[in-house]
């Protein structure tokens, strides 16, 4: 009896071994939908939140921070992106607690804290809008590869802003980890976030 038990064990081990090879061969590594960056130095800046408080990125250490640069007069790109980020948070459900979505305005001239308060939380009550002086905004946006420039157009709204519409993900230590191009599906953003959250 003892030897036959050993034989079964040997066969079982072989099956596990070949099973592992099969799984390894078929399994694909997780592919992020955003562009992956090597974790670099943490970034930080301090701006004024839509509540009127001064807020630093470092206040959110311990959470994943999803950063989007837009403005409230934005006709298309910004409301669409914020709505999709809101949808991504819905998909995440309870796990969304580990994520903070922030919109930084690229139009500080018109986007006061009050204006942001009427705009940003309408997409999701937990979203935060940030504004500041022209110089503060530039210092926050430039190192993240975000460009913006006034585009004077004929019309009632005065001018539009041309700006980078990608969304940046910072990890719990405030390091840039992913950049999602404009138009990334909310399901894909949620899936990347879920994978990141699972890794902790």
Q: Which is nearer to another protein, 113 or 141 (CB)?
A: 141
Q: Which stretch binds another protein (CB under 8 A): 3-11, 58-66, 70-78, 95-103?
A: 3-11
Element (H, E) at 54: strand 54-56
Residue closer to another protein, measured from CB, 92 or 170: 170
**CA angle (60 as vertex; 197, 147 as ends), nearest 5:** 95
For the packed helices 77-92 and 186-198, what is the interaxial angle rounded to 10 degrees? 50
The residue within the footprint of another protein, chosen from 47, 74, 89, 179 (CB under 8 A), is 179
The binding track of 97-136 with respect to another protein, each residue x by CB under 8 A or -, is: --------------------------------------x-
Q: In Å, how far are 102, 123, 136 from 126, measured between CA atoms?
A: 9, 9, 23
Of 80, 83, 138, 197, the one binding another protein by CB under 8 A: 138
Report the alpha-carbon distance of residue 64 to residue 197 in Å, rounded: 8
Q: Does 19 bind another protein (CB under 8 A)?
A: no
């Amino acid at each position: 009896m003892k030897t036959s038990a050993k034989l079964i064990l040997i066969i079982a081990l072989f099956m596990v071994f070949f099973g592992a090879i099969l799984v390894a061969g078929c399994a694909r590594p997780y592919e992020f939908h955003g562009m992956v960056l090597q974790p670099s130095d943490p970034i930080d800046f301090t701006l004024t939140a839509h509540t009127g408080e001064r807020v630093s990125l470092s206040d959110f250490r311990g959470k994943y921070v999803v950063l989007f640069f837009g403005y409230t007069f934005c006709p298309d790109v910004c409301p669409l992106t914020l709505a999709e980020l809101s949808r991504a948070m819905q998909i995440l459900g309870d796990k969304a607690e580990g994520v903070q979505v922030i919109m930084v305005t690229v139009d500080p001239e018109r986007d006061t804290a009050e204006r942001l308060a009427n705009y940003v939380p309408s997409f999701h009550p937990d979203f935060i809008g940030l504004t500041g002086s022209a110089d503060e905004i530039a210092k926050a946006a430039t190192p993240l590869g975000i460009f913006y420039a006034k585009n004077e157009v004929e019309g009632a709204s005065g001018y539009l802003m041309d700006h980078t519409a990608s969304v940046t993900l910072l990890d719990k230590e405030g390091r840039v980890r992913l950049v999602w191009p404009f138009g990334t599906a909310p399901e894909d953003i949620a899936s990347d976030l879920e994978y990141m959250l699972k890794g902790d």
